Structure 1
Amino acid sequence: MLKRLGAWLIVLLAAGAIAGGLGFYKYNEIKVAIAAAQATPEPVETVASARARTGTWSASTRAIGSVVALRHVEIKNEIAGVIAEIGFKSGDIVDEGALLVQFDVRQEQAALTAAEADARLAKLTLERRQGLRNSAAFNEQELDKAREEYAAATARAQNLAIIVDKKRITAPFQARVGISDWQPGAYLDIGTPIVKLQGVADDAYVDFTLPQDSTAIVRTGTRVTLSGAAVPGGTATAEIVAEDNSADDANRAIRFRAVAKGFGRILRPGTFVDVTVATTEPQPTVLVPLASVRRSPNGQHVFVLVEEDGKLRARMRTVTTGAVQGDDIAVSEGVEAGELIASSGSFKLREGLLVDTGAVAESTTGTGIN
């Protein structure tokens, strides 16, 4: 019995010794880890930053605008006839007065020659009748008849000259001609479309429509922003120079026309561009860099960089945004002017993270539209 108790005692002592050794080893391991953690510096993320600042913005709306040449026309023939000559090639730039289409005028030219001869003869007859005014052979009735016959002959000749002139179609202004498949020998009935002309000029119009509810402050002289792939540099400004005198009966929209200075030879007529128009007066707001705003399922937020114990830490702040203009965005709630905001690189941040930032950038835009 004593032998059995002694064996169990030895086993218990051995187990206790092993447990104590393992505990001592684990204690030392945790102690070393704590010391290592204390010796390791806190993680730091480097981001760019900027100060939130005061600015202005306006509510806005977007519309699809169509580029229109300052002068444009579709050429049609006023008199039917057979084409004798085409004076242009598709896509050419023609000067004012350049020949576009010459119709066959041989028949009209012959009739004109005969009418001019009749007019000359009628003029001679009239002059002879006038020469007999002081002679016994003078007849007032014959003089009146000669005078009217001369007037009628002259009118017939003038009418035929006008017909001949109308069968020669020239460019009314300098323009680029469109594509045309007409060839000499083709017969064209009255009013047949021949070719479209788009005037060549330094400037261009942009036509667009806005819903009647969005036009309270939109007037002649209002500046609008053009954007799109067709616009050099991506964006440009234009000025409204005309507005329609009534709303469209179908959709109650109002048509506006803006002029884009210097884009007449760049924007092709018929091209679509985006037009952004301010629809309210400028309102004061707080502007922050657009890159600083992060989006999540819970909404939009920014990271405000707050100094705590001499160090900058990221604090997440939920915001309500509005206008976007250039690289800035308006914030109506969540940020105060003057606060330091993480901009580029803010995606790396989380709540309470230590932050290192370089020189504070300042926004360059002062107004915005949304």
Structure 2
Amino acid sequence: MPRRLLWAGVGLLIVLPIVAVLVIIKLSQFDAMTTAGEQMQLPPEPVNMMRVREARWQPGVTAVGSVVAVQGALLRIEAEGIVKSIDFEAGARVAAGDVLLRLDAELEQAQLREAESAAALARLSFRRAQQLRKSGSIARSEFDQVAANLKQTDARVDFFRALINKKNLRAPFAGQLGIRQISLGQFLDKGSAVVSLQSLDPVYVDFSLPQQQLAELKQGLAVTVSSDSYPEQQFTGKVTAFNPEIDAVTRSIRAQATLANPDGRLRPGMFVAVDMQLARSESVLLIPQTAVVHGPYGDAVFVLEEGEQGADGASSLVVQSRTVRLGARRGDFVAITEGLAVDERVVSTGVFKLRPGMAVVVDNSLAPAFKLDPQPGNS
């Protein structure tokens, strides 16, 4: 047993110095790597740069609205009867005066022929009475009776003609039909719904504005309308009317814009977003929307500043984060109300890869073209 302990001690005396030497070597390697990492400088990050520009634009007011047809109605039949013919296709476009529906009118036609025969006889009797009246062969009262009978029979003819005319449903204006709500051979009561007819070009957009905007609301102001049904397309029009009174409950004023809608994309009842430009203009500072970093504590941009001078005497560029306050947006730009000055340099794209104090180099060779009125190719 003492012999085993002796050999263990000898082994420890041999291994410990070797382990100590290995530890010292590794520690020196780690120190060298740390020193090299601290001295190593990353190459400047290429960024797109744009200077803060000053421009004048008309401020806008945003609202939500609904599309309303200039002419729109659910067509109903004025008479009762059995559907004899349906002269339209669901979803078709029709002109004003086109016949859409015919009810069976055989009974009314027979009554009309009877009334026309009675009117013809009354007209003949009236002519004879005129001749007799000239010769004084009949009394004035008899002549008046014959004249009244003629008027009565003519009125009865007009009545049956009007009744037959009401058996036919005609389009009151040009537009697009909806889904038909009747079938061939069906008996319809007076006022039965037949089909919806909507005029789709132009259309109205009704929207409300707070009473604070009343002084700036005028006819002819330009509006831009967008819908989530067509996210890449905008529709333009002008304010054409507004109510003279303020809503006593919401303290808002109701306005109406008229928009051209040749392709029928805007449909009555559609929810839309409205951007109305006011008549006045104001000076604003603009930067691209892609330059803004949205954070939990506010919005910020990266501003280019001069860094330390190098060995060649040239100064490098570094980026610093600066908090800004945003204003209205238009096209690819956003207005800055606080935090920047005219002609300051900001990073326009790729801000997600930057951090304060990072060295950068400006490279605008692939910078996008920012516009106030972008026109996407697929709109």
Q: Taking structure 1 as the reference length, what is the TM-score of the superposition?
A: 0.83
Offset of residue 139 of structure 1: 2.7
Per-residue CA shift, 1:184-205, capped at 9, x if unaligned? 332322222221101253x322
1:153-232 equivalence runs, <5 A: 153-201=153-201, 203-231=202-230
**Distance in 1 between the 2:95 and 2:66 partners?**
25
2:200/2:261 contact within 8 Å kept: no
Structure 2 equivalent of residue 253 of structure 1 = 252
Contact 1:230–1:273 at 8 Å: present in 2 too?
no
Q: Could you list the runs of 5+ residues in structure 2 that have no partner in the other structure?
A: 1-19, 310-314, 374-379
- Alpha-carbon distance in 2 for matches of 1:157, 1:62: 59
Are the counterparts in 1 of residues 181 and 195 from structure 2 also a CA contact under 8 Å? no
The 5 A counterparts of 1:52-71 are: 52-56=52-56, 60-71=60-71
CA contact 1:57–1:330 (8 Å) conserved in 2? no
Other-structure match for 2:8: none
Residue identity over aligned pairs, in percent, reads 33
Structure 2: how far apart are the matches of 1:137 and 1:344?
107
Check if 1:128 corresponds to 2:133. no
Q: Deviations over 1:247-284 (max 9, x none)?
A: 34443432222122245522233222111234684332
* 1:365 matched to 2:364: no
Equivalent residue for 2:358?
353
In structure 2, the partner of 1:305 is 304
1:321 to 326, 329, 333: 326
Whether the aligned pair in 1 keeps the contact of 2:200 and 2:267 (CA below 8 Å) is: no
**Deviation per residue, 1:44-72 (Å, 9 max, x gap):** 21211111011245664433222223322
Q: 1:212 to 1:79 in 2, by over 3 A?
A: farther
Closer, same or farther: CA 154–208 of 1 in aligned 2, 3 Å: same
SS for the counterpart of 1:209 is strand
Give the equivalent residue in structure 1 for 2:48.
48
The residue number in structure 2 matching 1:286 is 285
Q: 1:66 touches 1:208 (CA, 8 Å); kept in 2?
A: yes
**Does 1:334 find its partner at 2:335?**
no
Shifted more, 153-162 versus 211-220: the winner is 211-220
Tell me, in whole angstroms, the C-alpha distance in 2 between the residues paired with 1:255 and 1:149. 56
Q: Unaligned stretches of 5+ in structure 1?
A: 1-18
Residues 178 and 32 of structure 1: CA distance in aligned 2, closer, same or farther (over 3 Å) = closer
The amino acid of 2:161's aligned partner reads A
Whether 2:349 is the aligned partner of 1:344: answer: yes
**Matches of 1:114 and 1:133, distance apart in 2:** 28
Name the SS for the 1:196 alignment partner.
strand
- Structure 1 counterpart of 2:266, one-letter code: L
Inter-partner Cα distance in structure 2 for 1:254 and 1:264: 30
Counterpart-to-counterpart distance in 1, 2:288 and 2:232: 21
1:89-148 CA-partner distances (Å, limit 9, x unpaired): 222222322211112222221111111111111110010111123435233222221111
Moved more, 246-255 or 312-321: 246-255
Task: Give the number of the structure with larger relative contact order, counting CA–CA contacts within 8 Å between residues 6 or more apart.
Answer: 1
Change in Cα spacing, 1:325 to 1:89, as seen in structure 2 (3 Å) is same
- Distance in 2, matches of 1:257 and 1:175, equals 21
Distance of 1:32 and 1:166 partners within structure 2: 98
| TM-score of the pair, normalised by structure 2 | 0.81
State whether residues 74 and 193 of structure 1, in contact with CA within 8 Å, keep that contact through their aligned partners in structure 2: yes
Change (3 A) 1:294 1:29: closer
- Counterpart amino acid of residue 315 in structure 1: Q
Alpha carbons 2:221, 2:279 under 8 Å: kept:
no
- The alpha-carbon distance between structure 1 residues 116 and 252, as it changes in their structure 2 partners (threshold 3 A), is farther
Mean Cα displacement is larger for which, 118-127 or 323-332?
A: 323-332
Aligned AA (1:64): V
Question: Compared with structure 1, are the counterparts of its residues 154 and 347 closer, same or farther at alpha carbon in structure 2 (3 Å cutoff)?
Answer: same
Verify: 1:272 aligned to 2:271, yes or no. yes
Comparing 90-99 with 52-61, greater Cα deviation is found at 52-61
Contact 1:64 1:274 in 2 (8 A): yes
How many angstroms apart in 1 are the aligned matches of 2:25 and 2:335?
Answer: 60
Distance 2:200 2:61 in 1: 31
Give the C-alpha shift of residue 329 in structure 1.
1.2
